[in-house]
């Protein structure tokens, strides 16, 4: 189960990034052009929201069963903080992703309450853009030497 979840979690990152970039660019262009907020715009941000929450659920399960996370907490806080890979998975990745997914959630709630269509695009643009940046920097990319690969 662990390997299957790791692969799904790893692959899903690309789908989420594609959808986030798509949603942000779409919201930016439509906000700038004062375009109406269509059913399709709502669906796009909804699909991105669902993907992020699916990743969150897989992440929670991974967090509970991952050997690296178990190893990190077994080390004790002081030692864990000195080991960048353990600290990353036990704390940094978790906190960064939770903040990003919370922003996506708040963004959608605030979008629904926005007064007009331009404000809806603006809300999605802002919240999803910040989430995109946080997710991008919180991913254990192979060049960060955290023991991961591209897939």
Residues lying near ligand HEM in the complex (CB under 6 A) are found at 6, 9-10, 13, 16, 52, 55-56, 59-60, 62-63, 66-69, 89, 93-94, 97-98, 135, 139-140, 148-149
Question: What minimum distance in Å lies between the beta carbon of 115 and ligand HEM?
Answer: 30
Q: Which residues of 5-30 are buried (b: 16+ CB within 10 A; e: fewer)?
A: eeeebbebbeebeebbeebbebbbeb
3-state helix, strand, coil in the chain (%, to 5): 85, 0, 15
Q: Which residues of 57-80 are buried (b: 16+ CB within 10 A; e: fewer)?
A: ebbeebeeebeebeebeebeeeeb
Question: What minimum distance in Å lies between the beta carbon of 64 and ligand HEM?
Answer: 8
DSSP 8-state class, residue 34: T
Q: Toward ligand HEM, which CB reaches closer, 114 or 133?
A: 133
Question: What minimum distance in Å lies between the beta carbon of 128 and ligand HEM?
Answer: 12
Q: Toward ligand HEM, which CB reaches closer, 37 or 72?
A: 72
Q: Toward ligand HEM, which CB reaches closer, 8 or 34?
A: 8
Q: How far apart are CA 115 and CA 48, in angstroms?
A: 22
Question: What minimum distance in Å lies between the beta carbon of 97 and ligand HEM?
Answer: 4
Q: Toward ligand HEM, which CB reaches closer, 27 or 139?
A: 139
């Amino acid at each position: 189960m662990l390997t299957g979840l790791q692969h799904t979690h790893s692959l899903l990152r690309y789908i989420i990034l594609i959808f986030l970039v798509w949603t942000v660019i779409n919201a930016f262009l439509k906000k700038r052009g004062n375009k109406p907020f269509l059913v399709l715009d709502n669906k796009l941000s909804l699909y991105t929201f669902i993907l992020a929450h699916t990743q969150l659920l897989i992440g929670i399960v991974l967090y509970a069963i991952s050997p690296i996370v178990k190893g990190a907490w077994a080390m004790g806080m002081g030692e864990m903080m000195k080991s960048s890979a353990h600290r990353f998975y036990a704390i940094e990745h978790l906190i960064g992703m939770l903040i990003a997914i919370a922003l996506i959630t708040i963004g959608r709630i605030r979008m629904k309450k926005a007064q007009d269509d331009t404000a809806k695009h603006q809300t999605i643009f802002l919240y999803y853009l910040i989430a995109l940046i946080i997710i991008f920097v919180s991913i254990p990319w192979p060049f960060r030497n955290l023991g991961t690969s591209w897939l």
